[in-house]
Structure 1
Amino acid sequence: MDRLADRFRAMPQSRLLGAVPGHPSRAAAVLALAGRLADAARALEGLPPLPVPDCGAFAVGDQLAVTGHDLAAAAADRPETLAAALDDVADTDRLTA
């Protein structure tokens, strides 16, 4: 996840805004991933889902890092949840390559 977040932090605007299957842009695909990770973390903590705000294409790397680390902390004793999240991260990595 950190590798993908770093890739998005360094990505030029033209690539960030480029469309990928199912999303209007690479940034939108990563924002959707950040939302899924945040929802999973909040569910483990017994909280309702909240949307991850769209802070612009240049923020998605940071949003991914924060939501991913939050999920890792919440799911430290839930290897199945972490495995599912890592699969989702890998799928998004391939989609946005």
Structure 2
Amino acid sequence: MRDTSELTAAVERFADRLRAAPQSRLQRGAAAEGLALARELSVRAQRAEEPGREPRIMPDAGVFTVADQLAVAGHDLAEIMRTAPAGSPEGELDEAVELVRKAAERAGI
């Protein structure tokens, strides 16, 4: 089992910032960054869990729900990575953490 605490911590930090952001900041792009990241993490989780199946795209449920969508997608991916069999690509975890970091920077929160 891999330690995915860095990924869950990064996702939670970004989600908390989105929850605390004013509506104007969310509407100026922070929510869009959060949703794009949530969708990417969700697709990665689905591909790992159900290879060969077309991933479902997370819907846009509005600027006030994006933090929860991000948290769910991030935790799903972390759990799949945590329980992945030995020999799974090690770089995926670092890559996911970097995706979260870069999205938070672009969101400006």
Shorter-chain TM-score bucket reads 0.7 to 0.9
Structure 2 match to 1:61: 67
Unaligned runs of 5+ in 2: 1-10
CA-atom RMSD in angstroms: 1.1
- From 51, 55, 66, give the equivalent of 1:49: 55
1:8 aligns with 2:18: yes
Q: Distance in 2 between matches of 1:55 and 1:94?
A: 22
Deviation, structure 1 residue 48: 2.5
- Equivalent residue pairs, number: 91
- When normalised by structure 1's length, the TM-score is 0.88
1:30 aligns with 2:34: yes
Give the 3-state SS of the residue equivalent to 2:65 in structure 1: helix
1:17 aligns with 2:21: no
Structure 1's consecutive aligned runs of 4 or more residues displaced over 4 angstroms after TM superposition are none
- When normalised by structure 2's length, the TM-score is 0.79
Report which of the two structures shows the higher radius of gyration computed on alpha carbons.
Answer: 2
Deviation, structure 1 residue 15: 0.5
Structure 1 match to 2:102: 91
1:39 aligns with 2:43: yes
Letter of the 2:21 counterpart = M
The structure, 1 or 2, with the larger RCO (C-alpha pairs under 8 Å, 6+ apart) is: 2
Q: Is the CA contact (8 Å cut-off) linking 2:33 and 2:104 kept in structure 1?
A: no
Letter of the 1:96 counterpart = A
